[in-house]
Structure 1
Amino acid sequence: MVNGTRVVVLGAGIVGAACARELAREGFAVTVLDRDRPASATTAHGEGNILVSDKGPGPELELAGLSLELWPGIVPAHPAAEWDPKGGIVVAATPEGARDLENFAESQRLAGVEAESLDAATLANAEPHLTRDVAAAVHYPQDAQVQPVAAATALLSDALAAGAVLRTGCEVLGAATRGSRLTGVRTSLGTIEGDVVVNAAGPWSGEVAARLGAPLDVRPRRGEVLVTTPRPPTVFHKVYDADYVGAVGSGDQELQASAVVESTRAGTILLGSSRRRVGFDDRLRPEVLSVIARKALRLFPSLAGVPVMRAYGGFRPYVADHLPVIGPDPRLDGLWHATGHEGAGIGLAPGTARVLADLLLDRAPALDAAPFSPARPAVLPEGQSA
């Protein structure tokens, strides 16, 4: 690929915005399409987490490390993104959980992650309102947070400043092809031509890929969050139970829930988290919200009686092997993918965009991109092969 190549990015969430920014800055002629408004779907329903604490050694942790290097170079020009390198604390309530947490943390340390075991006094000083019924705690100073919609808007603003074009209210209907090559997309606003089409449609990536004639096994996974009324300073890190790591890595269709508690700059406290595979059923379930609240109170008993002013839920792009999908489609020339991040899209967006740009420009990425290949069995529908 050379500069001047026309790229159509499908999706203006944070991953699509990051890809548009990176590619526009590299000189590609970028058009971003979204059927609704930028950052109005999955991005708007996230917590803004940029984490290494929940990732074991392997490709996703390497991608998180790359993104963590890139985020500080993006946010200084955009204060509204609310970059907050507050760090995370993971706790275990039982001796067995403590052993598992310490073993997990040690494996991360060997992979270069900063992970500091905390004694009871240090933990109490770091989180004075946290329950004292804790068997082990690990501090991850590299964890950070942004305001997700503002961060996505910042990335998209940079893309537009570099020459990208945004078209909203534009739904993808099908592929425009010449022979076996994709030459653009047919949309509700007409055909939009491009030399490369990047599928960054998040939980809808599977459906979009199918419309383009190259089905991809990316499915929605539902998550919910409770938001309290603004409080005096109460939670100073992202604090979560070690069960969260297991919930993230689970492929179970039924409810997976764990305690995740963190504050925002506005003073509200976010309570999570849940994971369910229910298709695109967007109904809030009181029984799920009750489980989230109950688990959060075990970590922070002082939140009992604090009013919850709203609850929201969203869909995350789930892939069976829990790895993002980044690179060229093996079946349709001209189609590329940047999706499948599930709940980690905020944190992984800049790294994803950099890897995508490197691959498009035939440069060697800073990490091995092979594990993210769209040609791998986990994302190709049954019966198809690369």
Structure 2
Amino acid sequence: MHIAVIGAGAVGLAIARELVREGARVTVLERRHPGAGTSATSFAWINAHLKRPASYQALNRAGLLAHHALHNDLTEGPRWFVPTGNLEWAADPAHATALTAAAAAVEEQGGTVERLTADQARALEPGVRIPAGVESAVLFADEGYVLPGEFLGRLLTDAIAGGAELRAPAEVRAIDAGADGARITLADGTELAADAVVTAVGRWTEPLLADAGVHVPMADPDAAGGATVGYLAYTAPAPVRLNRVLTTSTLNVRPDGNGRLVLQGLDLDPAADPGAAQQPGPGSPVARTLRDRLAETVVGGEYAEIEQVRVGQRALPADGLTVCGFTDDRRTLYTVATHSGITLAPALAPMVAAEVLGGSPAGLLADFRPTRFTPGRRPGTRLAQARLPGEQ
């Protein structure tokens, strides 16, 4: 069976890797280069505890466990997943209430939660500066972070070693899917025939599928201050001791290898504008704010230098939930679109591969089918920025 996978981000490459492992012939089409889309601007925190509703939290927990399984199966090569947990504390009452609820929800689903005193948290991460008045913290021990480049490299090399063909750059202009297979037209006029097509193109999902007569509405990825955009700041090697994801009321930070850090301040994201003629640089106000927050949060942060600020554009279905499934009963065109791509990729891959190759539907995907959308209508869901500390 010949499967065309459109999109070579984390989700597309994970699916391609799984399909070749199941014996399919696979062609991956990517309009620029692997990882050029959303995967290149992800905080890459592997977590489930902030996800709602319960079915989405369960799906993300499956992703988290799949990362652990892949990590444990490795016998050689670089490790893309760092399963050292997520340490979180709350400096305001609303955040403290939300953190308590999140910890209970994780425990209900079988996750490991450690409730720490402030002194225990400092012993675990000697470099942290926990504010006065904060007496406790929570360690979500099952969580971790991914080094996106190494993760994508592993997926890509495994897929190609298994026989997948990568065509990049190869921009898809049209998909004609019928009961007897699909025909894909590329921007250069060439055509490719396949038994089935899987789209994993992130924020480009809506226009690509619309040309194929399929309605999967996505939140506008270019809307300044909208739910899809946010800042990420990257430091030069810094004298900071940090072993895990750290989330606080003002700053999220994780290691990025070789002493570098990735910083995120969710309350700053409403100012992000991917269409701005001049994007914020290392000396911009947002960079200075994030660096000041880092100095307040970890020892040595005051000596860190911001090398780059990126405006990430999230792939976010219009109702806020993952899309995963066949677009109609012909079982020729399958689509995946999700805000949680790096977390979900290793869990979605075997479920998608099984369904595309004729297996039974995956129970975890029941709430996330693309057929939930009414043609010609957009969901009335109000999508805000990524959930801020203290929000339910």
* Residue aligning to 1:245: none
* Residue aligning to 1:228: 235
Say whether 1:284 aligns with 2:279: yes
Deviation per residue, 1:358-385 (Å, 9 max, x gap): 32244346643111111123x865179x
Q: How far off is 1:217 after superposition?
A: 1.0
* Residue aligning to 2:101: 103
* Residue aligning to 2:120: 122
Whether the 8 Å contact between 1:98 and 1:136 is mirrored in structure 2 is no
Q: Structure 1 278/295 Cα, relative in aligned 2: closer, same or farther at 3 Å?
A: closer
Say whether 1:55 aligns with 2:23: no
Q: Structure 1 371/120 Cα, relative in aligned 2: closer, same or farther at 3 Å?
A: same
Whether the 8 Å contact between 2:145 and 2:254 is mirrored in structure 1 is no
SS in 1 for 2:241: coil
Deviation per residue, 1:78-125 (Å, 9 max, x gap): 633432111101111023422221122112211212111111110111
Which one-letter code corresponds to 1:325 in the other structure? V
Q: Structure 1 93/278 Cα, relative in aligned 2: closer, same or farther at 3 Å?
A: closer
Q: How far off is 1:146 after superposition?
A: 2.2
SS in 2 for 1:346: helix
SS in 1 for 2:78: helix
* Residue aligning to 2:24: 28
* Residue aligning to 2:345: 349
Comparing 162-171 with 91-100, greater Cα deviation is found at 91-100
Which one-letter code corresponds to 1:168 in the other structure? A
Q: How far off is 1:280 after superposition?
A: 5.5
SS in 2 for 1:52: coil
Q: How far off is 1:269 after superposition?
A: 1.5
Q: Structure 1 362/235 Cα, relative in aligned 2: closer, same or farther at 3 Å?
A: same
Work out the number of aligned pairs and report it.
361
Q: How far off is 1:176 after superposition?
A: 2.8
Whether the 8 Å contact between 2:59 and 2:364 is mirrored in structure 1 is no
Give distance in 1, aligned partners of 2:360 and 2:236: 47
SS in 1 for 2:151: helix
* Residue aligning to 2:183: 184
Structure 1 residue ranges without an equivalent (≥5): 243-257
Query: Could you tell me the TM-score, scaled by structure 1's length?
Result: 0.84
Give distance in 2, aligned partners of 1:111 and 1:290: 39
Whether the 8 Å contact between 1:214 and 1:332 is mirrored in structure 2 is no
Give distance in 2, aligned partners of 1:383 and 1:235: 43
Whether the 8 Å contact between 1:176 and 1:191 is mirrored in structure 2 is no
Whether the 8 Å contact between 1:9 and 1:20 is mirrored in structure 2 is yes
* Residue aligning to 1:39: 35
Runs of 4+ aligned residues of structure 1 deviating over 6 Å after TM superposition are: none
* Residue aligning to 1:239: 246
Give distance in 2, aligned partners of 1:117 and 1:56: 22
Whether the 8 Å contact between 2:230 and 2:312 is mirrored in structure 1 is yes
SS in 1 for 2:364: coil
Give distance in 1, aligned partners of 2:378 and 2:128: 50
User: In the TM superposition, what are the counterparts of 1:221-370 in structure 2 within 5 Å?
Assistant: 221-241=228-248, 259-274=251-266, 275=269, 281=275, 284-285=279-280, 286-300=284-298, 302-330=300-328, 334-340=332-338, 342=339, 344-364=340-360, 367-370=363-366
Give distance in 2, aligned partners of 1:152 and 1:70: 15
Comparing 346-355 with 50-59, greater Cα deviation is found at 50-59
Structure 2 residue ranges without an equivalent (≥5): 222-227, 380-392
* Residue aligning to 1:196: 196
Q: Structure 1 213/307 Cα, relative in aligned 2: closer, same or farther at 3 Å?
A: same
* Residue aligning to 2:383: none
User: In the TM superposition, what are the counterparts of 1:61-76 in structure 2 within 5 Å?
Assistant: 61-75=57-71, 76=74
Comparing 279-288 with 6-15, greater Cα deviation is found at 279-288
Q: Structure 1 365/217 Cα, relative in aligned 2: closer, same or farther at 3 Å?
A: same
Give distance in 2, aligned partners of 1:222 and 1:79: 33
Give distance in 1, aligned partners of 2:120 and 2:88: 13
Query: Could you tell me the TM-score, scaled by structure 2's length?
Result: 0.83
* Residue aligning to 2:388: none
Q: How far off is 1:17 after superposition?
A: 0.1
Q: How far off is 1:57 after superposition?
A: 6.2
Which one-letter code corresponds to 1:262 in the other structure? R
SS in 2 for 1:149: helix
Which one-letter code corresponds to 1:241 in the other structure? T
Which one-letter code corresponds to 1:122 in the other structure? Q
Give distance in 2, aligned partners of 1:330 and 1:85: 38
Which one-letter code corresponds to 1:105 in the other structure? A
* Residue aligning to 2:389: none
Give distance in 1, aligned partners of 2:180 and 2:279: 42
- CA RMSD after TM alignment: 2.7
Deviation per residue, 1:153-201 (Å, 9 max, x gap): 21121111222111011111112355x7661211124111112111100
Q: Structure 1 383/147 Cα, relative in aligned 2: closer, same or farther at 3 Å?
A: closer
Q: Structure 1 105/304 Cα, relative in aligned 2: closer, same or farther at 3 Å?
A: same
Q: How far off is 1:336 after superposition?
A: 0.7
SS in 2 for 1:230: coil
